[in-house]
Chain A
Amino acid sequence: MDRLSLTNKSASTVALEGLAKSVGNWLPAAAQGICPVDTVAAYIKTCLTQSCGKCVPCRVGLKKLGEIHEKILEGNGEMQDLSLIESTAAVIADSADCAIGYIAGEMALTAVRAFRDDYESHIRKNWCSAREEQPVPCSALCPAQVDIPGYIALVSNGRYADAIRLIRKDNPFPSVCGLICEHPCETGCKRNLVDDAVNIRGIKRYAAEKAGHVPAPGCGEPTGKKVAVIGAGPAGLTAAYYLALMGHRVDVYEKRSHAGGMLRYGIPDYRLPEKTLTDEINVILETGVNLHLNTDIGKDISITEIVEGADATFITIGAHSDKKLRIDGENLNGVIPAVSLLRKIGDGEKPDFSGKKVCVVGGGNVAMDAARSSVRLGAEKVSIVYRRRQADMTALAEEVEGAIAEGCEPVTMMAPVRVEGDENGNAKYLICQPQIISNISRDGRPGVKAADEPEVKLDADIIIVAIGQAIESAPFGEFGLPLKWDTIAASDECDFENVPGVFCGGDCATGPATVIKAIAAGKVAARNIDKYLGFDHEIKLDVEIPAPSLHDRPACGRVTMKERDADERKHDFDLMEKCMTEQEVMQESSRCLGCDHFGYGKFRGGRCFKW
């Protein structure tokens, strides 16, 4: 036998790993506007680099698939090429010996079927429809299309109030979003190609804090038109804000005692302080929006009365009701929906959980809010009971990590089967059936099935159910709006085919989603209501954006947000996240690659001056 030796990474291995990592970063950072056919061609080529070359389908088949793709991309494709791709890919998928071949074949097969229209467009017209109109990835991924490079440039120049004005062109909630936006913008940040996405939300928060009160811009000439908005959540208030700026009279009807919707009644103060929210809403009200609180549409005033009394109506009632576990014992005392708990807290009522053992069921952001609020309400123990693995939780990773840091315990791979109570009808135990992770479904999420293990009994004085929200849409269905499940089935333009003058958007139309999506719905509704009323008002950019800095952008770590110590923050509802320092925000802003100016943005779509 030869002597053995340990293997060390050679320089070329390290370089190759770097290359592979870069390829991994590449696609998500530019996933919009790329040609599906070109992407499949590149994918096949990448797969081929992994082929050992032993077997025919992989070695030759993938190569031929690549050649056909190139032929199509060069504008020389024929329709019969599509069936050739399909049949060849199927044979590769069926007959390759190892995963390198058969996965590549399967993906190629899926692709040619999913992108059939794109392939045909290439073949018939030599035309790719994939090219994007909005090449600035952060703005394109922001549902409200906020001019992110613009406000980052303004922050770099210390012009915080201008940054807020610029954000408000597309989103009247800069302070709120600075704290709690899920920042889909960051996922596509081109900075991912270099190192890591720019901390966009953190920069926005800094701007909002430093800017202080920035008054709303003046309203346009009164149009004499009346718009009614049902629901004072982020979608309703956004629409109200823009409609008021356009010169319409806006009346917002809110069922509860305060405006804000889920921002107030769903998001706890430690993430979004009540004062920040109130200040932001007050700016919106500065435009002259009339707010009618404690007015339950359908009860206090009929829907018909509202719709008939206005020139247009925007329905945005949110998703404030709860979904049930549908297990035995769910009616016992102590089993409460998360939305009810959070709503109570939003109204300033804080129940005392001292000494209680709390089980929160669910793995989304609402579950984390409920769990972390329970900690703050004094609970002795908080468990987060979830059917899948921690990695499968839909909550933002930092929310899960924050909850754990505050002492919450994830109890994963557990499906609740019943609640057991004491003789007084109070919940005592949550009985769970352990699960095993299972096959991955088409949407990419793994399923679960019952594990061959006995049931588990968790102590539970309080069981908070956070498995989704429902919409109180029935009265609107009776009024004549189409419903799909419990959502109000509005179009992507936030209107209805056969109900002129009635618009709808936000959680009630989409099911529970993010704040920024609700804001986007408000913006879309405002524009389309204005059009419906026969106007063409423009919301314009009134801030001059500074010239881009020409400095290099070397690789540099991302500044992450710091939080107050878990030990300290878990005792109160005060804001837990700290703001960036000036030094941090200046460094972070300078990381922005300026896609509005450098690259395609300078040619097209770098800046949207008005909408």
Chain B
Amino acid sequence: MVNLKIDGIAVSVPENTTILEAAAKVGINIPTLCYLKDLNEIGACRICVVEIEGTEKLRAACNNPVEEGMVVYTDSPKVRKARKTNLQLILSQHDSKCTSCYRNGNCTLQSLSEKFGITSNPFTETPAKNNWNYEFPLIREESKCIKCMRCIQICDKVQSLNIWDLKGTGSHTTVGVAGGKTIDGVHCSLCGQCITHCPVGALHERDDTAKVICALEDEKKVTVVQIAPAVRAAWGEHLGVKREDATVKKLVSALRKIGFDYIFDTNFSADLTIMEEGSEFIEKLTHREENKFPMFTSCCPGWVRFIKTEYPDMVNMLSTAKSPQAMFGAVTKTYFTEKAGVAPENIFSVSIMPCTSKKSECDIETLNGSGEKDVDVVLTTREVDRLIKASNIDVAALEEEDFDSPLGDGSGAAVIFGATGGVMEAALRSAYYLVTGKKPDPDAFRSVRGFDGPWREAQIDIDGTTVNVAVASGLANTRALLEAIRAGKVSYDFVEIMACPGGCGGGGGQPIHDGEELAQARDENLYTLDKNNPVRFSHENPAVLKVYEEYFGKPLSHKAHELLHTDHFSWDVVK
């Protein structure tokens, strides 16, 4: 143990503890800006500087370990002056029009400025000019970037895609797309992790709320909205509602108030996905010699973009099943329009997703099955929150309301699509039934849940056949898994991949809480919803059974192939 004094308080901490962590241990909260635990401990912003007795130079608390006998001052006049000046310097290059910023009220720079009493700035404000393709779903505003390097670190270390890099040197140093390329010319998965780890508003999704408002105002349009599983675990976070109180039924109520005509649940098409993907897997297993294994899940568009660009030789191992969002879009503008007697071209189909990559998925032409654009607009959880706020809805007073019929039913198996391992667990539940005709304990496959290791694996016995499965989330973990598969070090039959760490719970479209990773808490919420759902199996979802009965016949039927499956080779990530 190392003994030291911080602001007069004696502290004893293990060796190699940082000054920041030691201070936190005794309740002293040293302010940070660029710091991101384990990922970005580079001392760049100089906000966390502290004074150490006997030395002249201030040192960063975030990346310097304690020393025996050290006497630290975290709030001396010298420290305060340095923090304030450095903040003012950062602000001098930051477009501080907070009122029109996506992160207004949720910005670390804004809150630090408030905390340190920045009411004026002696330095001329010269934010850089923005230069970006605003059509792209991921937007970077150079004028707001504070060069904390977090986006670079998360993309390098967690997602292994190295999309961002430092560009320029000296005072011209900023962040840009690596190699001087443009964002639409690189292998960006659009996972949005750089957005959720940006402390300011420099990175955000393309805001599509205006398009939705326009459609809502258009009397000729019938608006249909679907809500993805993981959205229900997070949508209330920035609306002042506790997770357990912010039920999906209250979200349904909010959307109805906003004016959507039909409010449906992506859980419906998640169950449909299980029927198709599960049947595809069983089909492949029964003709093992003719197929390449593992079969990879295909519901995460970030992952699909990743495998298409980074491992193109393995694309033929992806399930051909469309994502639940895309299946939903196809069903909406075919089955539903027929049933409701609405012309497909009069439907405006919106999906609410915890995801930024889904915004690009809905623009893939070959994914459309209805002859129209199956999904017109994708909103992230953050955008729908903005829409709710802008509609002046008193969220606390919302009553619970039911989804509309017929695409409003979802099983417990569907809701866990939003958690890492959930698709696998849901698929195994139904696959087991489809092969054996017996219903397993719905919690029998819970070993694929969790957050440990680069990937998790399980051996499942289905009627005497051992099925080897693996689950990974986060693209660096995914890369490690794919390399191991490619090198023959491991072999699996079925693999679930989610681009975002923790799956959609940690999705790049979810509400942002600087410095906190909430995937686990959201995933747990989804598992509770699964447990409380009377229907725990996709193949028991009555709406799904009905759509097969009335429309598709059976899984993998000709019509199902036409509308619910896709050719992953029919489009390119980089045009």
Q: A residues touching B (Cβ–Cβ < 8 Å)? A: 33-35, 38, 73-75, 121, 125-128, 130-131, 547-552, 597, 602-603
Contact = CB atoms under 8 A, between A and B. Distances in A.
A602 B170 contact: no
Given A548-B64, A550-B52, A602-B43, A127 B179 contact: yes
A126 B176 contact: yes
A126 to B, nearest CB: 7
B166 interface: yes
A73 B172 CA distance: 7
A498 B52 CA distance: 61
Nearest to A125: B180
Given A121-B180, A603-B44, A552 B166 contact: no
Contact of A547 (B54, B65, B172, B176): B65
B55 A38 contact: no
A603 B167 contact: no
A33 B169 contact: yes
Contacts of A131: 166-167, 169
Contacts of B54: 551
A75 B174 CA distance: 12
A552 B59 CA distance: 10
Contacts of A550: 52, 55, 59, 64, 67, 70
A272 B167 CA distance: 46
A546 to B, nearest CB: 10
Closest 5 CB pairs of A and B: A127-B180, A125-B180, A35-B169, A603-B42, A547-B65
B158 to A, nearest CB: 16
A125 B180 CA distance: 5
Given A126-B167, A602-B63, A552 B56 contact: yes
Contacts of A74: 172
A35 B59 contact: no
B42 A35 contact: no
Contacts of A549: 67
Interface in B106-134: 131
A547 B42 CA distance: 14
A549 B70 CA distance: 12
A552 B169 contact: no
A34 B169 contact: yes
A282 to B, nearest CB: 37
B241 to A, nearest CB: 39
21 contacts: A33-B169, A38-B172, A73-B172, A121-B180, A126-B167, A126-B176, A127-B176, A127-B180, A128-B167, A131-B169, A547-B16, A547-B65, A550-B59, A550-B70, A552-B55, A552-B57, A597-B63, A602-B41, A602-B42, A603-B44, A603-B149
B168 interface: yes
Nearest to B149: A603
A131 B44 CA distance: 17
Contacts of B57: 552
B44 A35 contact: no
A73 B43 CA distance: 26
B: interface residue count bin: 20 to 34
A126 B180 contact: yes
Interface of B: 16, 41-44, 52, 54-57, 59, 63-65, 67, 70, 131, 149, 166-170, 172, 176, 179-181
A73 B179 CA distance: 16
A579 B64 CA distance: 33
Given A126-B176, A602-B41, A551 B55 contact: yes
A38 B180 contact: no
Contacts of A597: 63
A38 B64 contact: no
Contact of A128 (B44, B67, B131, B169): B169
Contacts of B41: 602
A310 B474 CA distance: 44
B172 A128 contact: yes
A81 B548 CA distance: 67
A539 to B, nearest CB: 20
A203 to B, nearest CB: 22
Contacts of A128: 167-169, 172
Q: Which of B131, B169, B176 has most A Cβ within 10 Å?
A: B169
B64 to A, nearest CB: 6
Contact of A73 (B16, B64, B131, B168): B168
A194 to B, nearest CB: 12
A127 B167 contact: yes
Nearest to A73: B172
Contacts of A34: 169-170
A603 B55 CA distance: 24
B42 to A, nearest CB: 4
A75 B181 CA distance: 14
Contacts of B180: 121, 125-127
Contacts of A547: 16, 64-65, 67
B273 to A, nearest CB: 39
Among A33, A550, A603: residue with most chain B CB under 10 A: A550
A75 B65 contact: no
A35 B170 contact: yes
Nearest to A544: B16
B168 A35 contact: yes
Contacts of B176: 126-127
A121 B169 CA distance: 13
Contacts of B64: 547-548, 550
Contacts of B169: 33-35, 38, 128, 130-131
B177 to A, nearest CB: 9
Contacts of B166: 131
A131 B180 CA distance: 13
Nearest to B181: A125
A331 B41 CA distance: 68
Identify which of A121, A549, A602 gathers the most chain B CB atoms within 10 Å of its CB.
A602
Contacts of A126: 131, 167, 176, 180
Contacts of A38: 169-170, 172
A603 B148 CA distance: 10
Nearest to A601: B42
B63 A75 contact: no
A275 B54 CA distance: 46
Contacts of B67: 547, 549-550
Max chain A CB contacts within 10 Å: which of B42, B52, B181?
B42
Contacts of B172: 35, 38, 73-74, 128
Given A34-B169, A552-B55, 12 more contacts: A35-B172, A38-B169, A38-B172, A73-B168, A75-B131, A127-B167, A127-B176, A127-B179, A128-B169, A131-B169, A552-B56, A602-B42
A35 B166 CA distance: 13
B243 to A, nearest CB: 35
A18 to B, nearest CB: 19
Contacts of B131: 75, 126
Interface centre among B43, B57, B172, B180 (most CB of A within 10 A): B172
B248 to A, nearest CB: 42
Contacts of A73: 168, 172
A160 B90 CA distance: 43
A128 B172 CA distance: 10
B403 to A, nearest CB: 48
Contacts of B167: 126-128, 131
Most buried by B among A33, A34, A551: A551
Contacts of A35: 168-170, 172
Contacts of B179: 127
A125 B167 CA distance: 10
Nearest to B41: A602
A336 to B, nearest CB: 52
A35 B180 CA distance: 15
B43 to A, nearest CB: 6
A288 B64 CA distance: 42
A603 B153 CA distance: 9
B536 to A, nearest CB: 46
Contacts of B70: 550
The interface centre, meaning the residue of B41, B59, B167 with most chain A CB atoms within 10 A of its CB, is B167
Nearest to A547: B65
